[in-house]
């Protein structure tokens, strides 16, 4: 049994979760469920990033302490993850005591090693981004923040620095030897190109308390707190017990996959492997940076009022529909454009018409013709099913392993549609009329078995529908510990129990 340690970014708690946050956790959950189907031992970590001025300000605006405020937002994130069936193993908060201890310990280790030093910083500071920029960076943006484009403050102050520059050559050769370390390849090339063209500055990892008061106190100097990114990145090791639970840590580290959005690539593909290397730890096996969901080609933002609220989507269309749409609509890695129209069309065509209808028709026939009891003397798959069943058994796992979720779904849907066509072609109502009972039994048995296999394949994407179909097929015992061993022709007989339609059709006139 191999282990699989998977993480999501830690979400900032200064705002409520939106569809972009839901996207990463849905993708991570789908991968975690798939790895469990493969019988890997999975550890899936998600959580929240709670320090920094933005959180303190947001809390102050509501008349709350930062921790009280964070507790409320965290509850909201956890509620969303529950509604979306996100099967994480641990929810880490950067305000957790153990995490804070690990951050301090790491700084002590790096300090003792000579990789942290104190120095005077002269340059430009962006208050909202809590980031420093050099004169050259600022020249290109005419004195504005390269990230948020707001005016910068010119400052001169003492701070603590981590020797990022010392490890630039190591990182370059590491990436050269490990082209799978950053994915997809467009992001790998972006990081390699950046390292070729630029000399890394050392990373300022402290903030004076007069500037940022809500953070982890810098060990050995109470005038400072730890820079929020340095604090947050360390969650990936503190979440599995670095330093304090050595055995657990050794079991899970290195992480197999960090899922992130493309905007936080530099922190994860440059800062993070270097911090780990300085700690004598291996870098993560893969950092996968996915694309962004836009609305009418624009970034979602409060000021534009175009934020898509995942709670509303779930209330209106159900959590499985949202999970399916986000992973089916665009290849994982590229940007996508969210539109209500596309969302509804996908639900109607793929979920209501193709999958939902197939299950409904077959279960209906099973009850109508045989009172729900279907077995057959002949038990091998019909010839018509064989090519696509073989294709699925060969292509599904590689597609999922390489995070090509939409391609995996496309293949599964080819089989679903083949089964729908099979019903049209074989005309079971004529078999019934002509009393060709054994033939009809074999026909229905084959469809039930085909649906059972499809359910295994779709279960990482559609956990609610997957469980519902298994109940309707009288196969509830499979729900616990479902594995890919189930995707072969093996059932002896079915005792079905028809449920309500899985995905009711949405009236497109509401568009």
Given the rule CB under 6 A, which residues bind ligand MSP?
9-12, 20-21, 23-24, 49, 232-233, 235, 260-261, 263-264, 292-293, 300
Is the Cα torsion angle 213, 109, 129, 303 positive or negative in sign? negative
Check: CB of residue 33 under 8 Å from CB of residue 460: yes
User: Could you tell me whether strands 336-337 and 293-294 are parallel, antiparallel, or unpaired per DSSP bridges?
Assistant: parallel
Q: Nearest distance from residue 79's CB to ligand MSP, in Å?
A: 16
Instruction: Identify which of residues 80 and 506 has a Cβ nearer to ligand MSP in the complex.
Output: 80
Q: Nearest distance from residue 195's CB to ligand MSP, in Å?
A: 20
- Both tokens of 393, joined, read 């058994």
308-322: b (≥16 Cβ within 10 Å) or e: bebeebbeebbbbbb
Q: Which residue is nearest to ligand MSP (CB)?
A: 261
Q: Nearest distance from residue 301's CB to ligand MSP, in Å?
A: 9
Instruction: Identify which of residues 73 and 444 has a Cβ nearer to ligand MSP in the complex.
Output: 73
CA-to-CA separations, 353 to 25, 90, 413, 506, in angstroms, rounded:
27, 37, 11, 11
From the list 441, 413, 416, the residue with the least C-alpha distance to 426 is 441
Instruction: Identify which of residues 95 and 491 has a Cβ nearer to ligand MSP in the complex.
Output: 95
Check: CB of residue 297 under 8 Å from CB of residue 338: no
Q: Nearest distance from residue 67's CB to ligand MSP, in Å?
A: 17
Q: Nearest distance from residue 164's CB to ligand MSP, in Å?
A: 17
Instruction: Identify which of residues 255 and 374 has a Cβ nearer to ligand MSP in the complex.
Output: 255
d(CA 213, CA 216): 9
CA-to-CA separations, 169 to 107, 173, 192, 206, 391, in angstroms, rounded:
22, 6, 11, 25, 44
Instruction: Identify which of residues 24 and 357 has a Cβ nearer to ligand MSP in the complex.
Output: 24
347 in helix, strand or coil? helix
Instruction: Identify which of residues 48 and 206 has a Cβ nearer to ligand MSP in the complex.
Output: 48
Instruction: Identify which of residues 109 and 295 has a Cβ nearer to ligand MSP in the complex.
Output: 295
- Both tokens of 229, joined, read 């990114």
Q: Nearest distance from residue 219's CB to ligand MSP, in Å?
A: 20
Q: Nearest distance from residue 418's CB to ligand MSP, in Å?
A: 34
């Amino acid at each position: 049994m191999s282990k699989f340690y998977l993480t999501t970014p830690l979400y900032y708690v200064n705002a409520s979760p939106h569809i972009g946050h839901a996207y990463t956790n849905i993708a991570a959950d789908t991968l975690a469920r798939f790895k469990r189907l493969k019988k890997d031992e999975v550890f899936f970590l998600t959580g929240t990033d709670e320090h920094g001025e933005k959180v303190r300000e947001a809390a102050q605006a509501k008349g709350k302490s930062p921790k009280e405020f964070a507790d409320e937002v965290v509850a909201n994130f956890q509620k969303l993850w529950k509604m979306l069936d996100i099967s994480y193993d641990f929810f880490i908060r950067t305000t957790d005591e153990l995490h804070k201890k690990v951050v301090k310990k790491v700084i002590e280790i790096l300090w003792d090693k000579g990789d942290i030093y104190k120095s005077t910083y002269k340059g430009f500071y962006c208050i909202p981004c809590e980031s420093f920029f050099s004169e050259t960076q600022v020249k290109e943006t005419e004195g504005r923040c390269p990230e948020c484009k707001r005016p910068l403050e010119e400052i001169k102050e003492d701070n603590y620095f981590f020797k990022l520059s010392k490890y630039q050559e190591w990182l370059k050769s590491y990436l050269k030897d490990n082209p799978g370390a950053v994915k997809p390849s467009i992001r790998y090339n972006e990081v390699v190109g950046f390292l070729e063209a630029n000399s890394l500055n050392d990373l300022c990892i402290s903030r004076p308390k007069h500037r940022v008061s809500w953070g982890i106190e810098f060990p050995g100097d109470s005038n400072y707190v730890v820079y929020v990114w340095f604090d947050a990145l360390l969650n990936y090791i503190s979440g599995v017990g670095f330093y304090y639970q050595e055995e657990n840590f050794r079991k899970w580290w290195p992480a197999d996959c960090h899922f992130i959005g493309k905007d936080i690539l530099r922190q994860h593909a440059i800062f993070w492997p270097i911090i780990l290397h300085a700690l004598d730890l291996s870098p993560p096996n893969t950092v996968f940076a996915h694309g962004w969901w836009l609305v009418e080609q624009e970034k979602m933002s409060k000021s534009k009022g175009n934020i898509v609220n995942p709670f509303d989507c779930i209330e209106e269309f159900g959590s499985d529909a949202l999970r399916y749409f986000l992973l089916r609509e665009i290849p994982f890695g590229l940007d996508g454009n969210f539109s209500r129209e596309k969302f509804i069309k996908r639900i109607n065509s793929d979920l209501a018409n193709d999958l939902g209808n197939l299950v409904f028709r077959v279960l209906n026939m099973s009850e109508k013709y045989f009172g729900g009891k279907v077995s057959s003397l002949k038990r091998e798959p019909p010839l018509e099913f064989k090519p696509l069943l073989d294709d699925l058994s060969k292509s599904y796992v590689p597609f999922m392993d390489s995070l090509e979720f939409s391609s995996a779904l496309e293949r599964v849907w080819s089989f679903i549609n083949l089964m729908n066509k099979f019903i049209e072609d074989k005309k079971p109502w004529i078999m019934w009329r002509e009393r060709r009972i054994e033939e009809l039994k074999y026909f229905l048995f084959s469809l039930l078995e085909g649906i059972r296999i499809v359910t295994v394949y779709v279960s990482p994407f559609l956990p609610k529908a997957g469980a519902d179909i298994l109940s309707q097929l009288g196969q509830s015992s499979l729900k616990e510990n479902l594995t890919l061993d189930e995707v072969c022709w093996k059932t002896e007989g079915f005792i079905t129990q028809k449920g309500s339609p899985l995905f009711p059709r949405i009236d497109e006139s509401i568009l």
